Amino acid sequence: MKRLLVLAVILTLVVALVPATTQAQEKVTLTIESWRNDDIAFWNDVLIPAFNAHYPDIEVIFAPAAPTEYNAALNAKLEGGTAGDLITCRPFDLSLELFNQGHLVSLNDLPGLEHFGPVARSAWITDDGSDVFCVPMASVIHGFIYNQSIFEELGLEEPATEPEFLALLEAIKADGTYTPLSMGTVDLWESATMGYQNIGPNYWKGEEGRLGLIDGSIGYDEDGFVEAFEALARWIPYLPDGYQAISYPDSQNLFTLGMAAIFPAGSWEIGVFRGQNPDFEMGAFKPPVPEGAETCYISDHVDIAMGVNAASPNQEEAMLFMEWMTTQEFAELYSNALPGFFTLSDHAITLEDPLAQEFLSWRDECESTIRSSYQILSRGEPNNETQLWETSAQVLNGELTPQEAGDIVQAGLEAWYEPQQK
């Protein structure tokens, strides 16, 4: 009897201890570092609940900082050992530095990474291509957004080639009611990002030209890169009066107020314009190709990714979250919640916003690339990206010829970048 009593007591103690032990082992909290404080509601209401439907025992906390403070705050946390388990990755060198410092883990063996091709990985891979250290989340795509009402009023059609594009601009100008192209040159980056880098891939053949700059086989003073400056210069007669004094917000307002027909755009404008005027009817067309071109190219520029803190005590759970981020479910949820920010995976998804779906459809028609100056080429002085801003604005202002612009940018690259020193 005594033996049974002892056994009963032991059994009771074991049963009492098991739930607590199991709970302690299973209850894990993952914290996400990010600069996207505008996305708090989306993470809390959509993404995290979707993840928890698969992994209910992993708590996820989205803890963003102010965008301007993120880099400094994150570095301080990483050095102090207080950073979260998951690190939202900015593109190119900032994240590469974190990996080289040992703060981010290699994700080469992560299931699902095969859904991301070379262009998608380009911002979060080592120079030698040996390690991927962040899962690509989203890109922005360049093209042209137009006012549908103006197009209908003037009987205009979307252009496919540059000659058709110029004829379209000429027709709008001849009518005299609207400005053909809404863009200014006060904010230098706008001239390059919305202009040169928008149409340029069609002239330097996307990745062929971009990678040619990196390996030194082609220069900014040659072939397609000068041709892109030439195409940009042909916009001059169709820009707003006094465009040299027009800022980026000014050009946005000019378009959304119905005073301009076409806005050279990045897809992030979709959310901006929807917010400014929900009833504004817009269409979009991809960058027109040179006459006779058989292939079209789009700037499908990498924007945001996610990595794992190498010091996280919850590596296994963090990897489960990262693997979920490679799925079609995540791709569809993320891309629909943020119209104009598109998954970088190869999953087929459908977007609810028709304008966003139009931008996304260009991936099926064209070859994707990223902006020419972002990977490797802006590490030295003079800065390649900054020079493209300056020269693009100077071409549009009539201060440089296209060839002069190409020569300046090339000389700047040759000043420090060894593969271009011939």
pLDDT in tens, 296-316: 999 999 999 999 999 999 999
Phi/psi-derived region of residue 61, left when phi > 0, alpha when psi is between -120 and 50, beta in every other case? beta
E strands of 205-269, at which residues? 260-266
Nearest to 110 by CA among 133, 137, 130: 133
Global pTM reads: 0.90
214 and 173 co-located in one domain: yes
Residue 84 lies in domain: 26-139+301-367
Residue with tokens 């301007």: 68
Q: Cβ neighbours of residue 420 under 8 Å, at least 6 residues apart?
A: 213, 216, 219, 410, 413, 414
In a domain, 347, yes or no: yes
Is residue 377 situated within a structural domain? yes
Question: Has residue 16 been placed in a domain?
Answer: no
Q: Is 206 left (phi over 0), alpha (psi -120 to 50) or beta?
A: left
Instruction: Specify whether 148 is located in the same domain as 118.
Output: no
Structure tokens that stand for 238 in this block? 């169709």
Domain CATH number, residue 281: 3.40.190.10
The answer to whether residues 404 and 416 belong to one domain is yes
Segment 74-94 mean pLDDT = 97
Asked whether residue 180 falls in the same domain as residue 34, the answer is no
The answer to whether residue 20 is domain-embedded is no
Does 305 share its domain with 295? no
Q: Which residues does residue 63 pair with via DSSP β-bridges, in sequence order?
A: 33
User: What are 143-164's pLDDT values in tens digits?
Assistant: 999 999 999 999 999 999 999 9
**How confident is the model over 262-307, as pLDDT tens digits?**
999 999 999 999 988 888 999 999 999 999 999 999 999 999 999 9
Q: Is residue 15 part of a domain?
A: no
Could you tell me if residue 11 is inside a domain?
no
In degrees, rounded to 5, the angle at the alpha carbon of residue 290 between the alpha carbons of residues 287 and 293 is: 105
Q: Kindly report the backbone phi and psi dihedral angles of residue 127, in degrees, each rounded to the nearest multiple of 5, phi listed first.
A: -55, -35
The answer to whether position 12 is within a domain reads no
The reported pLDDT for the residue numbered 7 is 41
Report how many domains make up the chain: 2
Residue 184 lies in a domain: yes
Question: In this structure, what token pair is assigned to residue 384?
Answer: 């390649």
Say yes or no: 265 and 399 in one domain: yes
Number of H helices, E strands in the chain: 20, 10
Q: Are residues 145 and 134 in the same domain?
A: no
Q: Are residues 186 and 295 in the same domain?
A: yes
324 plus 384 within the same structural domain: no
What whole-number distance in Å separates Cα of residue 135 and Cα of residue 345? 10
Do residues 294 and 306 share a domain? no
- Please, are residues 104 and 309 in contact by the beta-carbon 8 Å criterion? yes
- Same domain membership, residue 222 and residue 110: no
The 10 Å CB-count burial string (b at 16+, else e) for 279-303 is ebebbbbbbbbbeeeeebbbbbbbb
- Residues 149 and 224 reside in one and the same domain: yes
**Domain closes at, from 327, 352, 367:** 367
The CA distance from 310 to 292, in Å, is 51
